[in-house]
Structure 1
Amino acid sequence: MLKVGIVGAGFIGRKRAGIATAHPDTQVVLVHDVQQEVAAEVAAENGGQVAASWQELVAADLDIVAVATTHDALAKISTAALCAGKHVLCEKPMGRNPVEAKLAVEAAQQNGRVLKAGYNHRYHPGIQKVYEVCAAGEIGPLMSIRGRYGHGGRPGYDREWRAIPEKAGGGELLDQGAHLIDLAKWLLGDFAEVKGYTETHFWDMKPLEDNAFGLFRTDEGQIASLHVSWTQWKNLFSFEVFGRDGYATAEGLGRSYGPEHAIIGRRNPEGGAPEIERFDYPQEDRSWELEWADFLRGIEGSATPYSAGTEALATLEWIYRLYRASSEGRPVRREEAPTV
């Protein structure tokens, strides 16, 4: 039985704790949150105890630490846990910037431990179907991706921690944009350059952005057009992949993002409407459960988990290249430093 500590007992940390408790090979032992009463609730729900500080938790007799804090603490706590010999599942984006995240990646490598970033979207069934179809070559060589993701916030959203630069590190691009970039890289491989814009259109949170528009291009000329928004007044998730012989799309994530489904369209060589196949996924979201199982396989050494530390660092570097492209008004290439 692997012993688990949870740092950050908010919505995501509580979800991680529940998944760890439900798995037959893991047990929640310690929970820490800056709000002690919240930590106590999550600990009680999962049969664990409360740690007075994250330092106490990291130093305890644990096998795994799951880090689900605000962005300013992600890399610091993950690095300390890895140096203490723990495996770490750290929520995306793994730090406020690539410099912070790189420290965690290096700590994992130096201490022979697994570092995985929390990118649960890869495990959604609609996205899995899109990936399987593309990987099997069913829609031919891939040409482009169009991704849209957003929500409209809530009253006072610009007074929450995501609007504080020192805590968040970035705005919507670093938040939901990280998921789209992770998915696009998964399908197309690494990019060669990016150009685009980050804008603050509505929320009072400058210098952080509430919208980001990116055009990512591979060496082969494939394009990923990605738009993320905190002014998407009706929640939306749409991920479309276009190949020479057809297309594959994933829409919705369940709940407020609408029913999840995938559509596979196969181009008609004679012209006219494509052959369309639809797959609906009305069942409960199991992405968090599947991600945890993938993480455990990585610890066992039987597989490399999705969005391992080095891969997540590369995603964060592309986020910062887009920030730089927007700031400097020009395309930024892979060889250039991912700084603003």
Structure 2
Amino acid sequence: MNYKIGIIGYGVMGKTRHTAIDEIKKGQVLMISEPSIGADMNGIPNVSHEEIINNPELDVIIVCTPNFLNKDLTIRALNAGKHVFCEKPPAFTAADIVDIKEAESRSGKTLMYGFNHRHHDSVLHMKRLIDSGEYGKVLWLRGRYGKSVTKDYFNQWRAKKELAGGGILMDQGIHMLDLFLFLSGDFDVVKAELSNLYWHMDVEDNAFVILKESATGKVASLHSTMSQWRHLFSLEIFLEKGYMVLNGLITSTMSYGEETLSVARNRSTAPAATWKDEVITKYVNNNSWRYEMDHFFDSIDEGKPIVYGNSDDAMKLMTILDKVYEQKDF
């Protein structure tokens, strides 16, 4: 089916989603809504949010707006009978997700969230290996995700709690938390330290999070930071019979370095510190944007539930974030 699509928010992410839609050829963007540009973009009319939501010709709405708009626009679009794809974060709290799920249930429409990192080829390969049981159960995970920001960050909506909902954890660390859940399952114990020692904003510039699943003893640790002075992505997963280490992430700027996955069996005897047994794969193409849009539109076509990035995933994630932000002491 050739879906008729409107995109609300036409910044970097809106343009990225538009490109992916054009590449997979399963729909056509008929209108956009972006206050920072003129009356049209390459012949596509630029209209108000309301005009997109209430347009009876549109089947699908893509929401790529600042965080504070995500919940409201998602619910309004579902209530208008549209299928919805929304960027992360889904909302600010787990209570918000309850409201969204009610609208989703009433509408009978497809809702998917843009947890894009799930769709990287490296992560999908890790998921297949873990699910195969070949390496045993996950014992522990460690994620580091950080970047450096400049003083103009103060002027961005991401620096304001009422617009962003949180700081670096809500902006970037949320992707790593989502990968923990995607690759290893849920956690019920959450311990955290949040700080703003350098930027002194009302949102965190560092988040240190420890997660535990009581039933199995599985533990995960996350450090999400904007005072690292360099971009870094690193996800390590250690299992009963081996490990997987993903360093770097393909982005448009490649500021996180090459996306490289190392996989090996466990080694408990000397020389345990040599790495010749690792299988190393370097990924050079970022197919994640296309995979993500394919999954969304295929789910609509086939009437099947969203598997990667559904509202249940959003609820689990926001429940953890609620527990983290309850421990904020500044």
Q: Which bin holds the TM-score, normalised by the shorter protein?
A: over 0.9
**How far has the Cα of 1:265 moved from its partner?**
1.6
Q: Percent identity?
A: 33
Q: Which residue of 1 aligns with 2:307?
A: 305
**How far has the Cα of 1:195 moved from its partner?**
0.4
Q: Is the 8 A contact 1:76 1:100 kept in 2?
A: no
**How far has the Cα of 1:310 moved from its partner?**
2.0
The answer to whether structure 1 residue 134 and structure 2 residue 130 are counterparts is yes
Q: Which residue of 2 aligns with 1:239?
A: 235
Distance 2:141 2:318 in 1: 19
Q: Is the 8 A contact 1:195 1:322 kept in 2?
A: yes
Letter in 2 for 1:225: S
Give the match's secondary structure for 2:230: coil
Letter in 2 for 1:9: Y
Distance 2:150 2:125 in 1: 32
Letter in 2 for 1:150: G
The answer to whether structure 1 residue 3 and structure 2 residue 4 are counterparts is yes
Give the match's secondary structure for 1:232: strand
Q: TM-score by structure 2 length?
A: 0.92
Distance 1:276 1:21 in 2: 38
Give the match's secondary structure for 1:76: helix
Letter in 1 for 2:122: G
Distance 1:119 1:264 in 2: 24
Q: Is the 8 A contact 1:178 1:316 kept in 2?
A: no
Distance 2:35 2:103 in 1: 25
Could you give the per-residue CA deviations for residues 191-248 of structure 1, whole angstroms, max 9, x where no partner exists? 1110011111211312x10110100101211001011001121100001000111100
Distance 1:319 1:302 in 2: 28
Distance 2:248 2:305 in 1: 29
Q: Which residue of 1 aligns with 2:210?
A: 215
Could you give the per-residue CA deviations for residues 171-210 of structure 1, whole angstroms, max 9, x where no partner exists? 111111111111101122111110011111211312x101
Give the match's secondary structure for 1:94: coil
Q: CA RMSD in A?
A: 1.7
Letter in 2 for 1:40: D
**How far has the Cα of 1:272 moved from its partner?**
3.0
Q: Which residue of 2 aligns with 1:261?
A: 260
**How far has the Cα of 1:96 moved from its partner?**
2.5
Letter in 1 for 2:307: P
Could you give the per-residue CA deviations for residues 54-113 of structure 1, whole angstroms, max 9, x where no partner exists? 011001121110001001111101100000110111101112333333322221111111
- Structural mapping, 1:178-189, within 5 Å: 178-189=174-185
Q: TM-score by structure 1 length?
A: 0.90
Q: Is the 8 A contact 1:19 1:289 kept in 2?
A: yes
Q: Is the 8 A contact 2:112 2:306 kept in 1?
A: no
Selected match of 2:52 from 49, 53, 57: 57
Instruction: Report the number of matched residues.
Output: 320
Give the match's secondary structure for 1:317: helix
Distance 2:144 2:246 in 1: 11
The answer to whether structure 1 residue 272 and structure 2 residue 274 are counterparts is no
Q: Is the 8 A contact 1:248 1:264 kept in 2?
A: yes
Q: Which residue of 2 aligns with 1:83?
A: 79
**How far has the Cα of 1:270 moved from its partner?**
4.7
Q: Which residue of 1 aligns with 2:40?
A: 40
Name structure 1 gaps, 5 residues minimum.
329-340
Q: Is the 8 A contact 2:110 2:306 kept in 1?
A: no
The answer to whether structure 1 residue 122 and structure 2 residue 123 are counterparts is no
Q: Which residue of 2 aligns with 1:336?
A: none
Distance 1:158 1:122 in 2: 30
Give the match's secondary structure for 1:151: strand
Q: Is the 8 A contact 2:84 2:110 kept in 1?
A: yes
Q: Which residue of 2 aligns with 1:282?
A: 284
Q: Is the 8 A contact 1:92 1:118 kept in 2?
A: yes
Q: Which residue of 2 aligns with 1:292?
A: 293
**How far has the Cα of 1:160 moved from its partner?**
1.0
Could you give the per-residue CA deviations for residues 32-60 of structure 1, whole angstroms, max 9, x where no partner exists? 012242x733xx2xx53222x10110011
Distance 1:232 1:114 in 2: 38
**How far has the Cα of 1:269 moved from its partner?**
5.6
Distance 2:36 2:97 in 1: 25
Name structure 2 gaps, 5 residues minimum.
none
